[in-house]
Structure 1
Amino acid sequence: MIQPQPSGMSNYLAVRPDWLARVVEEALEPELPIIDAHHHLWDRPDWKYLFGEYNADIAAGGHNITASVFMQCQAMYRRDGPAEMRVVGETEFVNGVAAMSASGNYGPRRLCAGIVGHADLRLGDGVAAVLEAHVAAAPDRFRGIRHITVWDADRSLMNPLSAGPPGLLRDETFCKGFARLAPLGLVFDAWLFHPQIPELTELAQAFPQTTIVLDHLGGIVGIGAYKDRRDEIFAGWSRSIRSLATCDNVCVKLGGLGMRINGFGFETQDAPPSSETLAETWRPYIETCIEAFGPQRCMFESNFPVDKGSYRYGTVWNAFKRLTRHAGDSERASLFSATAARVYGLAPLD
């Protein structure tokens, strides 16, 4: 059975529960503490993924998820009020979910302990009021914003819900808005495609006091105009990653490689990939990032439910554990929880 995707979501792979059920793995090292550094919650016309669905995926996976960071996804914006302020509705919604989790009625984990929302940085100095409203809506949990800057000349690659104009990271007014983040102690999550990484490097160099988190290893594209160019793309991406890593204010999220744009084709197989297959496929990318940034600036993410079109929640965490099997205890602690806790200011569990 294929779970239908709502309008505007066609760039995501369809979630097929029957297909996913063909590969079910037991959790490796189930005691290892994990902070899921990047996931979404939404209720859209044919795709509901709220607290219950996310909690169920965690429980079925069997891993020790102690906390999570919610990432903006245009969920539950306010219906009324000034247009620029409607995005605060997402923070209000997620803060309520976080309060549910923090009650302890659903287990010890603290889901949505960190919240990253959206504010239009093209407002320039005027974005300050929006940022302050986010903080006021979730003073103990709001940690940053993501203004998606994805763009490519191949328009088929872009999600119409979040496509950006070219060169946005270099836009003068955008940069004025960006300058408002550091004074409030807010992080900037960057979602873009791999050819845009040099633009992010320039931004990081211009604003060394602002913490930047590169999402999904920098948006490696393997379809459309980038199809059948895997070796060439890896070489260019690697150079860009190493250059970006020279900016001490930048961290990277390891994950988000189950999306349509990555072009690995897991969804075309008779059964979902095993964690061994994922680890082998992803090893060059994950190891390049860890080598360039160091474990203290890397964090693992599920990117659920977006990546659920390619594999189960438990499988992806098994893959990450296989990839780091030979790392030291302190390095693994950074990768699986400590980096995310530090960057997003998450309080330890009681």
Structure 2
Amino acid sequence: MGVTLAQLSPTLAGMNVEDTASLFNVLRGLLPSADMLRRGRIRAGARKLITLATWPDDADTDGSHVAQLALLRVLHLQREARKAARAGLNEATAVSARLALEAALQGLYCLYEPNGVSRLKAANAKSAGALFKYLVDDGTVPQELIDLTVSTLGTPGRSADLFQMAEYIDKVRPDTKAVSLYRRYYVPTSTFFVHTNAASLLRHVDAHEHLTARPAFVWTRNSALRIADGSVGLLAAELARHSAAPAEQFEAYAQSHIARAFTPMAVVLARGLREYLRLRSVSMLVRSVRRTRAYVQSEEALRDTRDVRKARVRDGLESSMGGWLNHAGDVRDQVLDTFSEQVLEALDRRPPGPKSRMQPQE
């Protein structure tokens, strides 16, 4: 049964404007993005940035060529993600979004790293040898023939891994926040959807320890689509700048979509919250968070001893998130203590207000 406005009213009535705005931002992340016309314009504009008609010789290939090829792939993966989402294929949607982000970061790296293309060629030669290794194992061809064939592609070597690429991109273009995207989206999607490990296997075990044929989807389709959309805007914006073309529309498109994407880890935590939280307690939870925040920002917190501050902050955190942490007592206490200490450290670094020169007491 759906939630009616009458049921929501008591909860919303307990929130002020700021609380309601915060809740609205969360809801925006859950709702689909109705931007078909805008997406069409962005795709058309991005396609115009791909000026290559044929692939150049190896000696003439540069970073902008690789970036154009990467953008072509990202555009394809964006479309594949939407096809999968419409068909209800969660796994395919998530993997397509991950691949789109990976291709975008690879394109950005080659666009700005002078040795990016040569390192990509070396990695290609190395992977070619691995692709044909089974022929040697089967006794079909000798290793020498494989080595000779691979040598025509260049000297085998290693390219930078994706994290190293993200680090380099952030040094050149900090606004891209490439490392943050890598850690927030690429790592968890690799862990949960691409590789077989404990995390991906346990998706087939439900909250009641029962095995399920269909794995839990530890993301949202809308968030996956936004990462695919954002990847298009991210790479197109940088390629436009490199080509001295207007980049504002691509940059705004990337930022608006990435900002509304939940991370897979946020979804994992939200599932624990869903077991703990009921609609009637949303207002109480928000008020608890606001009370703790108000105390931390108050002059009273500066006057209190550190032990009192820690106790107040920990009580506030426990009342708002303690039941959410479905862990053994020691782990739960450690989490609460860690967060409390981080809040106190931030408070200790806070300069005194204009009306008070009082320093925090020990």
TM class by shorter chain equals: under 0.3
Answer 1 or 2: which has greater strand percent. 1
- Greater gyration radius: 2
Question: Which structure has the highest helix share of the two?
Answer: 2
Larger RCO: 1 or 2 (CA < 8 Å, sep 6+): 1
**Structure 2 length as normaliser, TM-score?**
0.25
